[in-house]
Copies of this chain bind each other. A is one copy, B any other.
């Protein structure tokens, strides 16, 4: 291939990212070579910073660069409703619709026996701990509308019901088998609006 070593290493790094094959990686590496020094330095710093400076919010388990995330710190958020999602990306999707004003809980995954992820491997214990707060009146289960997400929702609802807290599941306005983060705002709004008591 007669490419300089630093170029080869950058192409290899780009190829580790999802959806980036050898041709795209090569294209991106050449683009970086032509980029401003300033922008490349910023890029490299941003990469390291994401690993170094981001942690999980001690309350909702979402990603955060402070011990408590911005949403958990916000006094205007409604503490009586907790929306349970699988991933930080799901929080972004729901925030984008600007209709939910409660708090979140990020499970950081879903129960999936096939890949050996059990209830103890995701942040369910942390959720139950938060429910000790008497102000919590409803838990909305907004895990993905696929097999793992449904199973996780069922599992959590069985744990919470005995506590006398209302448990709801977002409606199947979302296409089954889809990915929550890719849902459009309207569909997502309908799904939350049509939630049902489990």
Residue A49, interface by CB 8 Å:
yes
Interface SS of chain A: helix
Q: Complex Cα distance A41/B16, Å?
A: 13
- A4 partner residues in chain B, CB cutoff 8 A: 53-54, 63-66, 69
State whether the Cβ of A177 lies closer than 8 Å to any Cβ in chain B.
no
Q: Indicate if the CB atoms of A9 and B48 lie closer than 8 Å.
A: no
Contact of A13 (CB < 8 Å), options: B43, B88, B91: B43
Q: Which residues of B contact A3 (CB under 8 A)?
A: 63, 92
Residues on B with beta carbons closer than 8 Å to the beta carbon of A69 = 2, 4
Collect the chain B residues with CB atoms within 8 Å of residue A16's CB: 35, 39, 43
In the complex, A70 Cα to B4 Cα: how many Å? Answer: 8
A55: min CB distance to chain B, Å? 9
> What number of A residues sit within 8 Å (CB to CB) of B?
58
Assuming A30-B89, A33-B50, A44-B48, is B7 touching A70 (CB within 8 A)? no
Chain A, range 1-44, C-beta contacts under 8 Å to B: 1-7, 9-10, 12-13, 16-19, 23-24, 26-33, 35, 37, 39-44
